[in-house]
Structures are given as structure tokens and as C-alpha cells.
Amino acid sequence: MKQATENQILQLTLESFKSEVAENSSPILIDFWAPWCGPCRMMKPILQEAAVKMVGRVRVAQVNIDQEPELANAFGIQSIPTCVLVEGRKAKAAFVGLMPADALVSQVLGKLSG
């Protein structure tokens, strides 16, 4: 089961951002993180659990801010981990810090249109 959940989290780069987010109107939750950030590493299993719970409704992705500083700057990321919900090519909400998967799923689904 673990392998399947890992495959559900996209690793976004500047190159893939356009096709996965800018040109795709389906909702996506983007986790901005860095490998040296302890809370970010704690967020990974939470994100995997959330991805499973939101399958078919919200895609889940990660951006390593060390490798993709342009994306972090474009979203105005000031602290990590920060998850940004993008729907219809617009940032709808940001969730800063750790939270349980159920709370994250509830918050994200509550922000979706329709």
C-alpha cells in the first residue's frame, strides 16, 4: 500500500508546473518543503494519507524549495511546510505547519468550489 501512496504525490519542478498546474484546472494541493526541515519530513506521511483520502478529487504534489526557489517565490512561501490549494489555476487557500491528515483533508475539501 505504501508504494501506491508514494506514487500519488507528484514531484513538481518548474518544467512540470506548467502542464500539471498552470494548464490543468483540476484541484491540486502543493506542499512546499525542504529536506533539511524536520516538520516537513513529518508532513510526508500525513500528505500520503491525505492523498489516498482525496483520490479522484484533489491531486497532491510537493515542491522542494531548495531545488525550485522560483516556485516558492511565486507563491510567496515564507515558512515551511506550507500547503497551497490551487483550483482553476488560482491559489484558493494556504495551510501552514503540521496538521493531522483528517484535518488537512477536511480543510482542503471545504475550500473546493462546488
Catalytic residue among 9, 12, 21, 40: 40
- Asked, for residue 101, whether it belongs to a domain, the answer is yes
CATH number (domain holding residue 84): 3.40.30.10
User: Would you state the pLDDT for residue 88?
Assistant: 85
User: Would you state the pLDDT for residue 7?
Assistant: 59
- Asked, for residue 88, whether it belongs to a domain, the answer is yes
- Asked, for residue 113, whether it belongs to a domain, the answer is no
Residue range(s) defining the domain that contains residue 68:
2-108
- Please, where are the H alpha helices in 55-96? 69-74
Q: Is the pLDDT of residue 1 over 70?
A: no
Number of domains observed in the structure of the chain: 1
- Asked, for residue 114, whether it belongs to a domain, the answer is no
Q: Is the pLDDT of residue 114 over 50?
A: yes
Q: Is 37 a catalytic residue?
A: yes
Cell 505504501 belongs to 2
User: Would you state the pLDDT for residue 106?
Assistant: 96
Catalytic residue among 37, 91, 96, 99: 37
Are 75 and 84 spatial neighbours (Cβ–Cβ below 8 Å)?
yes
pTM: 0.91
At residue 89, the 3 state secondary structure works out as: coil
Q: Is 40 a catalytic residue?
A: yes
- Asked, for residue 37, whether it belongs to a domain, the answer is yes
As a whole number, mean pLDDT of residues 47-59 equals 94
- Please, where are the H alpha helices in the chain? 2-7, 14-17, 38-53, 69-74, 101-111
Closest CA to 75 of 42, 30, 36: 30
Cα 92 to Cα 11: distance, rounded to the nearest angstrom: 20
- Asked, for residue 38, whether it belongs to a domain, the answer is yes
Virtual torsion, Cα 48, 112, 109, 95, nearest 10 deg? 60
As a whole number, mean pLDDT of residues 59-73 equals 96
- Asked, for residue 15, whether it belongs to a domain, the answer is yes
Residues ≥6 apart with Cβ < 8 Å to 87:
25, 26, 27, 28, 111, 112, 113
User: Would you state the pLDDT for residue 4?
Assistant: 41
Q: Is the pLDDT of residue 81 over 90?
A: yes
